[in-house]
Structure 1
């Protein structure tokens, strides 16, 4: 019984030591390409907005082609619109494909296939020095 208590105490001390030694969390560490795209997809398809404000650059531009008209929105306008659909699950099949990628920029196509139409989002993410952030989104409806 003493051996079992010693083992449990040793494991508890090891866990406490590892937790205390852990580096403090900074949100910029999470700003990878994959994290930025996954956060955007979660917001658009599942209404989960957690982290979206962090991955969208303050000067990001959102454009939508509707017929022959191009509508443009700022980051604040787009976030306000998405808040209205918070936690609403879109009934679509979502797929992503990388169009172009290098160390500084990536262009990703996110297709949202609904029953009657497809929304294609061309998302540009850039390495801003403070992590990867969305700098431009161009949406086309077909």
Structure 2
């Protein structure tokens, strides 16, 4: 009888530990390319699903307009992109990897509109256990 109780107690602890571990660890972590695709979909196609999760808490967004430089924090950047939610940009775009390592990737996103070009340099880095955007530099 004692052996049966010990076996049941051990099994219960194993199940509880497994369930608790599954609840705290996400099933699938995003790759650098997943993060890039979510960002491109937000900026180019107005699809902002998942955007908040891929931006680091201290993301730095810098926009150059002529000689002036504007800086946005995460909240301001999200507000700006939410304002153009579901608006598909009338542009063609390309992405190219400028630099890549296991923990970081810098990507150039070029959006070509009629009459001008907008370029974003996007830095995606390992932030704790997840890849997130840590820096964006926009030029037009």
- Using structure 1 for the length normalisation, give the TM-score: 0.79
CA distance in 2 between partners of 1:27 and 1:54 (Å): 13
Displacement of 1:104 after TM fit?
1.5
Within-5 A mapping of 1:16-31:
29-31=28-30
Partner of 1:136: 135
CA distance in 1 between partners of 2:26 and 2:83 (Å): 25
CA distance in 2 between partners of 1:50 and 1:25 (Å): 22
CA distance in 2 between partners of 1:138 and 1:129 (Å): 23
Q: 1:28 to 1:110 in 2, by over 3 A?
A: farther
- Using structure 2 for the length normalisation, give the TM-score: 0.80
Q: Which runs of 5+ in 2 are unaligned?
A: 1-21
Q: Which runs of 5+ in 1 are unaligned?
A: 1-22
Residue 116 in structure 1 maps to residue 115 in structure 2? yes
CA distance in 1 between partners of 2:26 and 2:111 (Å): 28
User: What RMSD in Å do the two structures reach over aligned CA positions?
Assistant: 1.7
Partner of 1:36: 35
Q: 1:25 to 1:49 in 2, by over 3 A?
A: farther
1:28/1:130 contact within 8 Å kept: no
Partner of 1:127: 126
